[in-house]
C-alpha cells in the first residue's frame, strides 16, 4: 500500500514526511510507457508533489510541480491533491541515457540543469500561488530542497528515489522531507546531516526494511513519534464531462466543422490512459449546448 507517514522529533523542532510510492510510480510508468530514466524522473517528481501536496491544509486545493531544465526529456509535470494522490507526465517518456559512472540512472542528464523548478498552488482563489527557483542539479531532490529554502524559507533536507528492477518494473519509490522549525538548536542540523549522510540508499531501505526504518535512520539519536498516515495512489480527475467542456471551449465554428465532417473525435487524457470518443451526434449535441450557452 502506498502511503505518506508523518513524524515529529526533538520536542517538535523537527518534522519529517515520508512517502512510499512503488505502485503509484509503477502505474505512471505503465500509462506513459516510460524508459527507466524517464520513470525515475517522473517518479521522483510525483513523490515530491505528493509530499508538498499533503502539506496543504485546504481540502480542495491542488499543487503542480513543473520542471524544465532544457534536457532531452522536456518538461516533467506532477500534480497532487491535498491528500497526496498524484498524476503526471513527461514530454518525452522514450528518453533513456547510459547509467552514470556510479551505476545510477542519469536523471539530471535527462532533465537538464538550465531551467526552473516551479511549484504552483491552486487554493481556489482567483490566482494560484507560484514559487520558482533555478535548478541546482536536475536530480530533483536537491532542487526540491532549494525550493523549500528559497521560496518557502524552510530549511530542509530532501531525498527522492526510484529503483528499477531487472525486469524493468518499479522495485521501490519514495522520498522524504525533513524540516527544521524556527528556533531549532544548531546541533540538530549536524545530527540530521550526519544521519542522512550515513544512511543506506533510500530505495534500498524501502524495498528491504520498510518505511519505519527510514525514520529510524534519518532521526537516529532523536526521540520521534509517528503522528499521521494517509494512503495515496495515482489518481486522475479526468471525466467525460470535463472533456465535453474542453470541446465546447474550442468554439462553435470548430464544433460545426467537426459535426459536418461526420468523423468521430477521440480525446486522450494527457495524465492517464483514458480515451473519450465522440461521434457526429455527440458533437452536434455539444454544438447545441454551446449555442444555448451563448444565448
pLDDT at residue 78 in the model: 98
CA distances to 19, 21, 165, 273 from 233, rounded to whole Å, are 11, 8, 20, 15
| Banded pLDDT at 114 (limits 50, 70, 90) | very high
- Long-range CB pairs of 282-290 (<8 Å, 24+ gap) are 283/247, 283/255, 283/258, 283/259, 284/259, 286/244, 286/247, 286/248, 286/255, 287/252, 287/255, 287/256, 287/259, 289/248, 290/248, 290/251, 290/252, 290/255
Mean of pLDDT over the chain = 93
Of 98-107, 262-271, 282-291, which gets the smallest average pLDDT? 282-291
Tally DSSP H helices, then E strands, for the chain: 10, 12
Q: How far is CA 19 from the centre of its chain?
A: 11
| Structure-model confidence comparison of residues 72 and 184, the more confident one | 72
| % of the chain with per-residue pLDDT over 70 | 99
Residue range 58-74: mean pLDDT, rounded: 95
| Banded pLDDT at 66 (limits 50, 70, 90) | very high
The answer to whether 231 touches 3, Cβ cutoff 8 Å, is yes
pLDDT at residue 106 in the model: 97
Amino acid at each position: 500500500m502506498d502511503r505518506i507517514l508523518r513524524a515529529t522529533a526533538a520536542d517538535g523542532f523537527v518534522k519529517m514526511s515520508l512517502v512510499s510510492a512503488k505502485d503509484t510510480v509503477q502505474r505512471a510508468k505503465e500509462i506513459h510507457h516510460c524508459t527507466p530514466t524517464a520513470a525515475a524522473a517522473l517518479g521522483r517528481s510525483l513523490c515530491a508533489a505528493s509530499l508538498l501536496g499533503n502539506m496543504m491544509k485546504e481540502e480542495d486545493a491542488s499543487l503542480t510541480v513543473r520542471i524544465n531544465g532544457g534536457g532531452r526529456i522536456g518538461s516533467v509535470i506532477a500534480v497532487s491533491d491535498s491528500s497526496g494522490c498524484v498524476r503526471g507526465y513527461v514530454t518525452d517518456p522514450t528518453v533513456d541515457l547510459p547509467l552514470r559512472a556510479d551505476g545510477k540512472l542519469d536523471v539530471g542528464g535527462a532533465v537538464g540543469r538550465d531551467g526552473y523548478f516551479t511549484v504552483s498552488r491552486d487554493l481556489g482563489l482567483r490566482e494560484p500561488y507560484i514559487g520558482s527557483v533555478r535548478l541546482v542539479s536536475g536530480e530533483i531532490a536537491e532542487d526540491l530542497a532549494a525550493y523549500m529554502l528559497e521560496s518557502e524559507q524552510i530549511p530542509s533536507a530532501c531525498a527522492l528515489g526510484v529503483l528499477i528492477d531487472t525486469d524493468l518494473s518499479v522495485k521501490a519509490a519514495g522520498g522524504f522531507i525533513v524540516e527544521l522549525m524556527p528556533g531549532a538548536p544548531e546541533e540538530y542540523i549536524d545530527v540530521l546531516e550526519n544521519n542522512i549522510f550515513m544512511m543506506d540508499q533510500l530505495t534500498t531501505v524501502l524495498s528491504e526494511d520498510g518505511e519505519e526504518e527510514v525514520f529510524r535512520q534519518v532521526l537516529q539519536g532523536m526521540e520521534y513519534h509517528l503522528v499521521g498516515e494517509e494512503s495515496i495512489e495515482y489518481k486522475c480527475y479526468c471525466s467525460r464531462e470535463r472533456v465535453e467542456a474542453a470541446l465546447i471551449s474550442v468554439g462553435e465554428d470548430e464544433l460545426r466543422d467537426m459535426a459536418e465532417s461526420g468523423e468521430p473525435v477521440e480525446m486522450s487524457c494527457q495524465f492517464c490512459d483514458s480515451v473519450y470518443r465522440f461521434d457526429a451526434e455527440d458533437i452536434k449535441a455539444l454544438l447545441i449546448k454551446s449555442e444555448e450557452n451563448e444565448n
